[in-house]
Amino acid sequence: MGCIVQKYGGTSVGSVERIQNVAQRVARTVAAGNRVAVVVSAMGDTTDELMAMAKQITPYPSARELAMLLSTGEQVSIALLAMALQTLGCDAMAFTGSQAGVVTDGVPCNARIAAFNANRVKEALAAGNVAVVAGFQGAAACGEINTLGRGGSDTTAVALAAAIGADSCEIYTDVDGVYTIDPRVVPEARKLVEITYDEMLELASLGANVLHPRSVECAKEHGVIIHVRSSFHEEIGTLVKEDTAMEKGTVIRGIACDEGQVKFAVLGVPDKPGVAARIFSAIGQAGVNVDLIVQSIRREGENDILFTVAGEEYEKVHAVLEPLVQELGARRLQHQRGLAKISVVGAGMIDNTGVAAGMFQALANAGVNIEIISTSEIKISCLISDEGLIAAAQAIHAYFKLHEDVCYPE
Amino acid sequence: MGCIVQKYGGTSVGSVERIQNVAQRVARTVAAGNRVAVVVSAMGDTTDELMAMAKQITPYPSARELAMLLSTGEQVSIALLAMALQTLGCDAMAFTGSQAGVVTDGVPCNARIAAFNANRVKEALAAGNVAVVAGFQGAAACGEINTLGRGGSDTTAVALAAAIGADSCEIYTDVDGVYTIDPRVVPEARKLVEITYDEMLELASLGANVLHPRSVECAKEHGVIIHVRSSFHEEIGTLVKEDTAMEKGTVIRGIACDEGQVKFAVLGVPDKPGVAARIFSAIGQAGVNVDLIVQSIRREGENDILFTVAGEEYEKVHAVLEPLVQELGARRLQHQRGLAKISVVGAGMIDNTGVAAGMFQALANAGVNIEIISTSEIKISCLISDEGLIAAAQAIHAYFKLHEDVCYPE
């Protein structure tokens, strides 16, 4: 008898009928002889609708009350799903994040899970119930309701799987699994059988929206095997796990694309300690995540600092930088919109030379110019123009033969 | 500086705009130098909508999950009202029933308040906050979410007022206060300045829908003064309290009307111990509240037992009684639909003779026939036909001169 955590997102529980479909799927898993704990998100657009009501009152709702408001969304889903399971003859108990034992760190709307005291869930499972747990929420030790921020429900599912020692954690989505690249960009994209945590982390961080990086980190930390699969059919999806023995030798696992970037360039910055820290702490305080950062020497005693942020952050960053550039005595502030980031990811890259060269060659063959290059141990990212993205993606995917099962760089 | 509990029902918080109106009213009370705790219901039809979703899944949703589902309604209202108050510059904290310290008895959808540990609310008030508390809900000692059943939010408000020692408990409704009779039935109806707990209890139990009897009982038990008033204007409403010194001498306080009753008659029941108990415990087990009960002797060794229930309970009661009548050896089961109950209520009635006679005379003058008479120390109820109700109400109201301030029976 296996113990399985299943997580269904907002689209999968978007209506009463869909909740009943999810219940049937869970019931089949139970009938196959498994203990099942289910994590669900709020129904469809509920979270957005609640947020809209709050914004109707004030553009800056207090975080404490916002968390209290948004957490009602999952509470509705768990109650309805438990009822639907009971109607199918499955014993089921619904648990809010607080009741399930999700102890959060006290940051109301962007909390992290500090501990998962899953005793009540374990007891419910041992007594033959399906445990239906609210994703995206928990309670601080003082009893205050917290929500987990983006990717919260995936993280709840992985943390729950770790806490109850589940055999696997199935994340149901509207895609079939993790692909070598977004199939809408490159139709030859191949579904991966397996992927390592680190590779998935890089892909997730780079804009592949299948799993949130937080949930992957949590799975890596606790050795939870994630099974990303479709909620529309029963086919096997992609396993996210430590060792991908079946595909040993794979150098490049996949390609991530991220459109709508803006590049800022602070030119002619005096070359002295603390300048970069001033720039990026100011941007961080404005609540903006910086993506790629490149610094190069312009001439003796002066640097150019380049970095990218998501396009919608342009105004905030510009407002922060303009006074700062004067204050730091930099020569000029430039920016360029309409850029895309394309990245190749693969744990095998560490032991293989030639991956970077191959990527640049593929881009050159496609006639795509490179604005910025940035690398880590298991990925290479290039900033290119938005218009060149599809050609670049297809060229790189073909160059590394990602449509084939095992692929080496040439 | 006074300490005031205010309770706003679902209609008063039925939209974001109305929540903002409530916030302004609360803010004015704070600005006048009071500490204020606010109890709110779910927005408008939210509870009905949630119930409809549950019923779409199953006609018999589990009580535990239903309580979890319905309790989200108030959680949304308190979060939004707290935000609206903060936007007006009023410090405010929202509390779910559980967080406010409402400890319930563990009956999921029809719980009673076992204790109110209001320390967090008191601390919030002492720190200068408006405490915004979810009505209609609490948590059992084990942490399970319970809802309070009908009239729950009024009861939460009264219990909170008792727990924090508030000076008064203002219940805001869509009427101006408690009237001598429903003004839609008798336009000469007069708004009462004061009414005693016992009188209010009788009126509430008899179908005057201003306050739920549970909240009045709780107020009586703890000496909480209830102020029933309109949420549409600032006029004083009606005080519900122990001593109504200002109106000493009032014999009849008001008249309650209750349409759509059905009368059952079990005729020719053997006159032996335990027969009535058999009948009414069977009806009670079917979940039906019996209203009036009258037993009279038909002939030697046989009784007739008559009772009334709400019209919508007809099917249930009939299904229970039909086999039982045979089993008990009774002669016949009869029923009559389309009946109404009209009751006069007044604490002064105890020391006054002639009230019953006056009521019967008024009914006779109006040409209304009496089916059943039932009395308690402070009320007299007559069962009449639905069609005669308005004429009867107007005749009794005029007979006892209830449109005048102080009234004696003639």
Note the Cα A112 to chain centre separation in Å: 15
Cβ <8 Å between B61 and A71: no
Please check the confidence at residue A355 and state whether its pLDDT lies above 90: no
Smallest Cβ distance to A83: which of B57, B76, B79? B57
Nearest Cα of chain B lies from the Cα of A79 at a distance, in angstroms, of 5
Same domain, A279 and A165: no
For residue B16, tell me if it sits in a domain. Answer: yes
Find all residues with CB under 8 Å of A261, minimum gap 6, and list them: A291, A308, A309, A310, A311, A339, A340, A341, A383
Q: Show the tokens assigned to A47.
A: 């979270």
> Which CATH number goes with the domain that contains A292?
3.30.2130.10
Smallest CA–CA separation between A73 and chain B, in Å? 8
Q: Name the nearest CA neighbour of A158 among A189, A135, A126.
A: A135
User: Are residues B68 and A58, on separate chains, in Cβ contact within 8 Å?
Assistant: no
Q: Cβ A57–B83 below 8 Å, yes or no?
A: yes
pLDDT of residue A127: 97
Question: Residues of chain B whose pLDDT is less than 50?
Answer: 407-410
Name the domain boundary from B173, B202, B228. Answer: B173
Query: Is the same domain home to B152 and B293?
Result: no
Are A259 and A389 part of one and the same domain? yes
Whether residue A265 lies inside any domain: the answer is yes
Residues of B in Cβ contact (< 8 Å) with A143: 98-99
Predicted pLDDT of residue A347: 80
Smallest CA–CA separation between B314 and chain A, in Å? 28
Residue at a domain's end among A118, A148, A173: A173
Residue partners of B19: CB distance under 8 A and separation at least 6: A57, B13, B43, B77, B80, B81, B84
Structure tokens, A111: 């909390």
Cβ-defined contact of B56 to A99 (cutoff 8 Å): no
* End-of-domain residue from the set A152, A173, A194: A173
Residues B168 and B266 both lie in one domain? no
Same domain, A162 and A274: no
Compute the count of residue pairs across chains A and B with CB atoms less than 8 Å apart: 103
pLDDT of residue A65: 97
On whether residue A67 sits in a domain, the answer given is yes
Domain of A388 in residue numbering reads as 255-399
Query: How many domains, chain A?
Result: 2
Are A65 and B79 a contacting pair at CB < 8 A? yes
Residue B241 placed within a domain: no
Report how far residue A258's alpha carbon sits from residue B280's, in angstroms, rounded to the nearest whole number. 72
Residue B183 placed within a domain: no
Mutate to test the interface with B, among A17, A38, A64, A68 (most CBs of B within 10 A): A68
Q: Give a yes or no: residue A222 inside a domain.
A: no
Coil, helix or strand at residue A58:
coil
Please report the pLDDT score of residue B410 as a whole number. 36
Disruptive mutation site among B68, B88, B109 for chain A (greatest number of A CBs within 10 Å): B68
Is the Cβ pair B94, A68 closer than 8 Å? yes
Position with higher pLDDT, A342 vs A347: A342
The pLDDT tens digits of the residues spanning A78-108 come to 999 999 999 999 999 999 999 999 999 988 9
- Where residue A409 falls among pLDDT bands split at 50, 70, 90? very low
- List of chain B residues whose C-beta atoms are within 8 Å of the C-beta of residue A16: 53, 56-57
ipTM: 0.81
Higher pLDDT, A149 or A207: A149
B84:A145 CB<8 A: no
> Minimal Cα–Cα distance from A129 to chain B, Å?
14
> Could you tell me which of A292, A254, A310, A309 has the C-alpha nearest to residue A376?
A292
Same domain as B8, residue B98: yes
**If you average pLDDT over every residue of chain A, what do you get?**
90
Q: Do B79 and A54 touch (CB under 8 A)?
A: yes
Chain A environment of B108 (Cβ under 8 Å)? none
* CATH of residue B102: 3.40.1160.10
Q: In this complex, do A64 and B94 lie within 8 Å of one another by their Cβ atoms? A: yes
pLDDT interval class at A406 (50, 70, 90)? low
Same domain flag for A146 and A259: no
H or E segment to which residue B260 belongs? strand B254-270
pLDDT digits (tens, 9 = 90+) for A291-319: 888 887 777 778 888 899 999 899 999 99
* Chain B positions touching chain A (beta carbons under 8 Å): 16, 19-20, 50, 53-54, 56-58, 61-62, 64-66, 68-69, 71-72, 75-76, 78-80, 82-84, 86-87, 93-94, 96, 98-99, 143-145
- Chain A residues within 8 A of B19 when measuring between CB atoms: 57
**pLDDT score of B54:** 97
Q: Is residue B322 situated within a structural domain? A: yes
A56 vs B16, B86, B96: nearest CB: B16
Residues B266 and B118 in one domain: no
Q: Is residue A406 part of a domain?
A: no
What's the pLDDT score for residue B244? Answer: 57
Same domain for A28 and A165, yes or no, is yes
Q: Within this chain, do residues B23 and B141 fall inside the same structural domain, yes or no? A: yes
Nearest Cα of chain A lies from the Cα of B70 at a distance, in angstroms, of 8
DSSP label of A331? S
- C-alpha–C-alpha distance, residues B189 and A59, integer Å: 47
A21-76 confidence digits (pLDDT tens): 999 999 999 999 999 999 999 999 999 999 999 999 999 999 999 999 999 999 99
